[in-house]
Structure 1
Amino acid sequence: MADNEKNEGGGLLRSSSVVGIMTMLSRVLGLVRDVVIAGYFGASGSADAFFVAFKIPNFLRRLFAEGAFSQAFVPVLSEYRSQRDLAAVQQLVYRVSGALGSVLVLVTLLAVLGAPALAALFAPGFYLAGGEKFALASDMLRITFPYLLLISMTAFCGAILNSYGRFAVPAFTPVLLNLSLIGSAVWLSPLMETPVMALAWGVMMAGAVQLLFQLPFLARLQLLPIPRPNFRDEGVRRILKLMLPALFGVSVAQINLLLDTVLASFLQTGSVSWLYYSDRLSELPLGVFGIAIATVILPSLSRNHASQDPQRFARTLDWAIRMVLLIGLPAALALAVLAEPLIATLFHYGQMTDRDVLMSAMSLRAYAFGLLAFMLIKVLAPGYFSRQDTATPVKIAVRAMVANMVFNLILIWPLDHAGLALATSLSAFLNAGWLLQGLIRERVFQWQTGWGLMLTRLLSASVAMVAVLVLIQMQLGDWLEAGLWARVQWMALLVVAGVGSYLLVLVVMGLRLRHLRS
């Protein structure tokens, strides 16, 4: 049994590493994408309009597809795999794809027809101000919203592949979105009367490409989705029952970020863009590590629950929390210490001004404060969803959203856009704390041995890393005045020195790779 647990721990680490590497590639290209967008459009009114038009379907995608749907679908699919034959699994895939697709087609048609109303709902500041920015956001939303249909079906395909251990393909798929947007900005925007409109077309094209990319891999599993809507099917009904409350439970962070956009639309021009650029940087460690670990443990937790193995279930959760702390704490500290240098190195070109760098760095520090909580939410929520419990996370999510709105109203006046980011971080800590408290209270999660030693290693290594970064980084004025290659070289030195000092202290204090496998 010990060997089996060790093998499973090693498998989780390997799978997390595969997803992390692929996601890292995607996020690095995502940063390149944002560098290109910043260079071409800066923090202008047209950039604000695009970010709103892109954020609305992207938010709904995370809410319906990658969020609530995946968390409801994977446990049911895992149960079908373990207890039924391939034909039953195929029928489930056909009927779920038909039900999901038919709903998404209807939602997309309504959104395209009512794009101005939708833009006014999510960016009321644009609507009240009137003028070109609101009209541009509405026009682009008609083009970007069909992305929801395409990317949701892509996420459905990815959930099947993840359940069968094919983690690399779904993790690589977002690379295609970044390539589409980079190509649209560089080659398509000069050809268009309104250059920023090229980005909207790039979003739609990316949705189609990502969906088509995954279909051959599903065909190899004999699970190519052939839509056959059937809302009366037992599996479909179970998934819908789990999904409806999970709409809030799994995506509270995204809802909070969207509320930030709504309030930011009332602030000075550039506020939406500053929040976007800083959020993108905070999303890098969250996506590469937090979401990677969560993606890998959900099928494992679902199998542990189906096989009635509560001890292994608890150990899997404990392992996930340790991995999040080991990566999330130094990542958050590094983002806070290097906020201005990172923004300057990545975005301070073309239309991006010195003031944009400073404003974006303010909100980046606020997001960095909550990074650990964002990552913990990603790995704690599967502790509920794998047991097909969606009611508890809903209650927690509603409380967290109410807290976020209160924090928003308190902090937006003294801190402007940075106050919105800080409110999101504070509510994330409440969300994570309540999730953990519930798992402990239900005796689903139990602390394993070795936490004292791990925390000592973690804190010592983090302090050493921060000291090294503070000692060797340049003054802010030097970062703003330096050229591209000087910034890149100095940032590379900081990254190597920070990572190196952190790992060195961990190794000196006795941490070994075998400790991460079990």
Structure 2
Amino acid sequence: MSKLRVATLLFFVSTFVLKFSSLLREMVIANYFGSSAVTSAYVAAMTIPNAFILFMLTGMKEAFLPSYYKFEAKGQGFSHLTNILKGTFWISLLVSIIGIALSPFLMPLIYPQWAGEEEVIQVAIWTSIIYFGSVFLVGINAVYEGYFDSQKKFSFSTFSQTIVVLCTIGGAMLLHGSIGIYSVPLGYFIGTILSFFIKLVYVKPKNFLDWKQSIDRQEVYAFYLIFLPVGLTIAVGQVNLFVNTIFSAQLEDKTALANLNYAFRLVNIPQAVFGVTIATIIFPIIARAKTENNMALFKRGIEKGLSFMFLLLAPTVAGMIFLMQEVVQIVYQRGAFSADAASETAKYAVLYTGSVVFYSIQAVIAKGFYTLEKGHYMLRVGIISIICNVILNAILSKTMGASGLALSFSLVGFIYSAITFTTLYRMIEGFSLRYVGLEYVKMTIATAGMLGVLWTAKTQLALQQLHVYLYVFIMGAVGAIVYFALLWLMKSQSIRELMNIKEFRRQAREGR
């Protein structure tokens, strides 16, 4: 097996571990703290610093790789790494200091409804302080994770992020009895420090950067001109979550914010896993097409990305909706998380599922924009989505309460994906909607057939009398077999080509 295949396999495995460890973190928080007002305060407070954290972590990878490769080609890769590390350190440190200083004033200002509840507002303030305290090291970690990706050490990058998640889990498990909900942000802070020192030891301090080199401010400035629009585009989703958080914190039900967060984190797993997987497969194809000026291959890559994405998401999302109550029960219902909380979370999760499909499709489209160096279009559409989110939140939260906020997120996802899809379609002068549409019809029919079999099994075979774990496992296995069998009978090209990506590349080059 080639080194590239080994690296790719390790990347996929480490990605699955990272995403499911993130879900485990939410399970631990639900177990120890439930969906209380204090938990809602924690969720609300961490949303703001988390926007900066995701801005650095995800945006840095998109911007640093091409920038590093450009300087590496001139023999200045290490010098460039040093400049970006030093520049990012000072920028991140400034954000940390400002965030820490403003937290005691910002939290009561944003969430005035908690002003009379001392414990709740203190949780919000200290959660914000601790997370902002982590930002300066997150910046350094982000640069080095981008560097590891440039060296094709993808698994090490995701491993370092997994360390942070595991420390967050460990903090909650070990310290929840003594310091309560503060154990969660404290665990994150410790994980960030540990992740930094692992990188420092792995690379060795003398090779970490050129300690004597002065910062080339012009080079750092030029890099951040590229990085900012990319990072801001990626942070759009987090901004929309923050908007939802503000509206949900104003609801009379003080547990709604926490339950909405649990629901979102649960349904986000398929999007995160499949989004990363499909984008990883497609991105090198369309990037190579751009380099070779092969628009036929570029279009074919987008078509396949959209088809592969729906191939995996259609049965997953439909199956989750069908089994949502049982899935939430398995994942969250234990300890401090009650049956009532599980019921509310399942209701919100169903309404969030639309966002899974739309944002996953948008993830493929985004790769097209980034490959064409048209990322600023994504930023414009992202701003439109934020405005739409505010309007829809204001309307739906009044008419539907917390459920309206979950539905709003899905509707905004539809608007976002629809605009980006049509914009890219016009930009590249179209691609085969007939192929994509036909594949979507086949997948929809197969999904409907799968649901029909599952409904029959549920009502006629009395499977619900089984233990919930066994019930979900059997239904999931039966659903997968039926879905893929139906697609195979309908001769779906996506299954055959996903199983043979080399053949797809050959056909794409031939323009087939």
TM tier, shorter chain? Answer: 0.7 to 0.9
Cross-structure match for 1:389: 374
Cross-structure match for 1:126: 114
Counterpart of 1:76 in structure 2: which amino acid? S
Equivalent pair of 2:131/2:189 in contact (CA under 8 Å)? yes
Cross-structure match for 2:508: none
SS for the counterpart of 1:259 is helix
CA offset digits 1:160-180 (Å, max 9, x no partner): 222333222223333323321
Moved more, 303-312 or 245-254: 303-312
Residue 96 of structure 2 is aligned to residue 84 of structure 1: no
Counterpart of 1:95 in structure 2: which amino acid? N
Moved more, 320-329 or 242-251: 242-251
Aligned-residue offset at 1:265: 0.9
Distance across 1 between alignment mates of 2:74 and 2:292: 14
Aligned-residue offset at 1:198: 1.3
Cross-structure match for 1:502: 483
Cross-structure match for 2:87: 99
Residue 439 of structure 2 is aligned to residue 454 of structure 1: yes
Residue 129 of structure 2 is aligned to residue 142 of structure 1: yes
Instruction: Identify if the C-alpha distance between structure 1 residues 77 and 440 changes in structure 2 by more than 3 Å, giving closer, same or farther.
Output: farther
Instruction: Identify if the C-alpha distance between structure 1 residues 362 and 229 changes in structure 2 by more than 3 Å, giving closer, same or farther.
Output: farther
- TM norm structure 2: 0.87
Instruction: Identify if the C-alpha distance between structure 1 residues 111 and 501 changes in structure 2 by more than 3 Å, giving closer, same or farther.
Output: same
Question: Could you tell me which of 62, 66, 74 is aligned with 2:65?
Answer: 74
Equivalent pair of 2:247/2:394 in contact (CA under 8 Å)? no
SS for the counterpart of 2:336 is coil
Aligned-residue offset at 1:453: 4.6
Cross-structure match for 1:5: none
Cross-structure match for 1:27: 19
Instruction: Identify if the C-alpha distance between structure 1 residues 282 and 406 changes in structure 2 by more than 3 Å, giving closer, same or farther.
Output: same
Distance across 1 between alignment mates of 2:198 and 2:433: 41
SS for the counterpart of 2:44 is helix
Instruction: Identify if the C-alpha distance between structure 1 residues 441 and 245 changes in structure 2 by more than 3 Å, giving closer, same or farther.
Output: same
Corresponding pairs, count? 495
Moved more, 133-142 or 448-457: 448-457
Counterpart of 2:107 in structure 1: which amino acid? A
Cross-structure match for 1:172: 159
Equivalent pair of 1:40/1:351 in contact (CA under 8 Å)? yes
Question: Could you tell me which of 446, 456, 467 is aligned with 1:486?
Answer: 467
Aligned-residue offset at 1:108: 0.3
* Unpaired stretches in structure 2, ≥5 consecutive residues: 505-512
Distance across 1 between alignment mates of 2:214 and 2:393: 42
- TM norm structure 1: 0.86
Cross-structure match for 1:350: 335
* Unpaired stretches in structure 1, ≥5 consecutive residues: 1-7
Distance across 2 between alignment mates of 1:107 and 1:302: 34
Cross-structure match for 1:55: 47
Question: Could you tell me which of 170, 173, 185 is aligned with 1:183?
Answer: 170
CA offset digits 1:173-207 (Å, max 9, x no partner): 333233212222222222x2x32211121010111
Equivalent pair of 1:75/1:385 in contact (CA under 8 Å)? no
Distance across 1 between alignment mates of 2:303 and 2:8: 15
Equivalent residue runs for 1:197-276 within 5 Å: 197-215=182-200, 224-226=208-210, 230=215, 232-234=217-219, 236-267=220-251, 268-276=253-261
SS for the counterpart of 2:259 is helix
Distance across 2 between alignment mates of 1:126 and 1:298: 45
Residue 420 of structure 2 is aligned to residue 439 of structure 1: no
CA offset digits 1:315-365 (Å, max 9, x no partner): 333332222111122222222222211111111112212221121112111
Moved more, 157-166 or 428-437: 157-166
SS for the counterpart of 1:230 is coil
Distance across 1 between alignment mates of 2:450 and 2:163: 34
Distance across 2 between alignment mates of 1:78 and 1:501: 46
Aligned-residue offset at 1:455: 2.5
Distance across 1 between alignment mates of 2:285 and 2:87: 26
Question: Could you tell me which of 122, 132, 141 is aligned with 1:154?
Answer: 141
Counterpart of 1:490 in structure 2: which amino acid? Y
Taking CA–CA contacts closer than 8 Å with sequence separation of 6 or more, which of the two structures ends up with the larger relative contact order?
A: 1
Moved more, 97-106 or 453-462: 453-462
Equivalent pair of 2:58/2:231 in contact (CA under 8 Å)? no
Equivalent pair of 2:442/2:490 in contact (CA under 8 Å)? yes
Cross-structure match for 1:3: none
Cross-structure match for 1:372: 357
Instruction: Identify if the C-alpha distance between structure 1 residues 286 and 40 changes in structure 2 by more than 3 Å, giving closer, same or farther.
Output: same
Distance across 1 between alignment mates of 2:221 and 2:282: 24
Counterpart of 1:333 in structure 2: which amino acid? A
Instruction: Identify if the C-alpha distance between structure 1 residues 174 and 472 changes in structure 2 by more than 3 Å, giving closer, same or farther.
Output: farther
Aligned-residue offset at 1:45: 1.9
Instruction: Identify if the C-alpha distance between structure 1 residues 123 and 157 changes in structure 2 by more than 3 Å, giving closer, same or farther.
Output: farther
Distance across 2 between alignment mates of 1:211 and 1:99: 17
Question: Could you tell me which of 272, 279, 293 is aligned with 1:294?
Answer: 279
Counterpart of 1:361 in structure 2: which amino acid? A
CA offset digits 1:284-308 (Å, max 9, x no partner): 1111111343356556655553554
Distance across 2 between alignment mates of 1:121 and 1:447: 51
Aligned-residue offset at 1:131: 2.5
Distance across 2 between alignment mates of 1:167 and 1:26: 12
Counterpart of 1:114 in structure 2: which amino acid? L
Cross-structure match for 2:507: none
Distance across 2 between alignment mates of 1:44 and 1:216: 41
SS for the counterpart of 2:180 is coil
Q: CA RMSD in A?
A: 3.2
